[in-house]
């Protein structure tokens, strides 16, 4: 039988922020394949759930490098040896394409994220609570995290920009931790984070922010392009897309949406 293990460690790339590595490995005789996948922190837990089936079938070790999309984008621009980049937005993968930093025909939309208002103590979670709230408000950093950008759009749409003092996490995972610990009473996170942790929040209507279309690409420095393409097709398969919908992410339902 194949053995499964998961571990976390820290790595600091020169002059850039520290990244968290999650290593999913299946040990077998003669195994040599490894994929180093840079993935937005908001989506890492979901990827860890669907990865074992691919690892088992292909006898491959997967290394997940988890951080904000902006940080991972910078790493790729600096030449970090990632095989695949799953961003929480479309802008950064498309920028890599425009700068000829990716393998041709490797840009795909793999899911759509959703925002949720969350608090450990304040109830009921709804638009009225948000509009009448007074106090520090947690969102991810809009400069580096797509979920932070979208959260800021919500605040602007509801005319709350001058009312809410923002506490920004490096990424949406850190923002969720701030809310989970109670250090900040109210904030906006990914619906997926709440679903994965069996928690509930107010699903923020799509009309308040631009769609969070999450795209993936294969960087030119990939050392295993063919296996990366196979992993992309696995992620886009109907079976995996159906699983995404259970964890708070919208599936991509047709080929037009995937480009």
User: 3-state secondary structure string, the chain?
Assistant: CCEEEEEEEEEECCCCCEEEEEEEEEECCCCCCEEEEEEECCCHHHHHHHHHHHHHHHCCEEEEEEECHHHHHHHHHCCCCCCEEECCCCHHHHHHHHCCCECCCCCEEEEEECEEEECCCCCCCCHHHHHHCCCCEEEECCCCCHHHHHHHHHHHHCCCCCCCCEEEECCHHHHHHHHHHCCCCEEEEEHHHHHHCCCCCEECCHHHCCCEEEEEECECCCCCHHHHHHHHHHHHCHHHHHHHHHCCCECCCCHHHHC
Q: Please say if the pLDDT value at position 138 is more than 80.
A: yes
Distance between alpha carbon 257 and the CA centroid of its chain, in Å? Answer: 18
Domain limits, the chain: 3-112+212-258, 115-203
CATH fold for the domain made of 3-112+212-258: D-Maltodextrin-Binding Protein; domain 2 (3.40.190)
Averaged pLDDT, 210-218? 97
Give me the architecture of the 115-203 domain, per CATH.
3-Layer(aba) Sandwich (3.40)
Quick: pLDDT tens for 227-239: 999 999 999 999 9
Q: Is residue 225 classed exposed, middle or buried when 0-12, 13-18 and 19+ CB atoms within 10 A define those classes?
A: middle
For the segment 143-191, what is each residue's pLDDT rounded down to a tens digit? 989 999 999 999 999 999 999 999 999 989 999 999 999 999 999 999 9
Report the pLDDT value the prediction gives residue 19, as an integer from 0 to 100. Answer: 53
**115-203 has the same fold as 3-112+212-258:** yes
pTM of the model: 0.83
pLDDT at residue number 33:
83
Whether 7 has a pLDDT exceeding 90, the answer reads: no
């Amino acid at each position: 039988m194949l053995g499964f293990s998961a571990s976390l460690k820290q790595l600091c790339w020169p002059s850039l922020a520290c990244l968290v590595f999650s290593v999913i490995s299946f040990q077998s005789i003669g195994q040599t394949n490894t994929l180093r996948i840079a993935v937005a922190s908001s989506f890492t837990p979901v990827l860890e759930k669907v990865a074992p089936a691919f690892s088992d079938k292909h006898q491959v070790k997967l290394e997940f490098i988890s951080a904000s999309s902006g940080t991972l984008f910078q790493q790729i621009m600096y030449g970090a040896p990632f095989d695949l980049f799953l961003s929480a937005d479309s802008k950064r993968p498309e920028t890599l394409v425009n700068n000829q930093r990716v393998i041709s025909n490797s840009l795909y939309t793999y899911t759509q994220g959703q925002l949720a208002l969350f608090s450990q103590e304040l109830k009921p979670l709804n638009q009225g609570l948000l509009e009448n709230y007074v106090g520090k408000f947690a969102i991810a950093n809009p400069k580096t995290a797509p979920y932070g950008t979208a959260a800021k759009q919500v605040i602007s749409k509801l005319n709350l920009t001058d009312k809410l003092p923002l506490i920004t996490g490096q990424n949406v995972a850190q923002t969720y931790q701030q809310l989970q610990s109670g250090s900040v009473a109210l904030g906006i996170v990914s619906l997926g984070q709440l679903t994965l942790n069996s928690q509930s929040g107010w699903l923020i209507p799509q009309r308040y922010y631009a769609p969070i279309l999450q795209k993936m690409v294969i960087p030119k420095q990939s050392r295993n392009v063919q296996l990366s393409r196979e992993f992309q097709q696995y992620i886009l398969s109907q079976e995996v897309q159906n699983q995404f919908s259970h964890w708070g992410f919208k599936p991509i339902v047709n080929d037009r949406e995937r480009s």
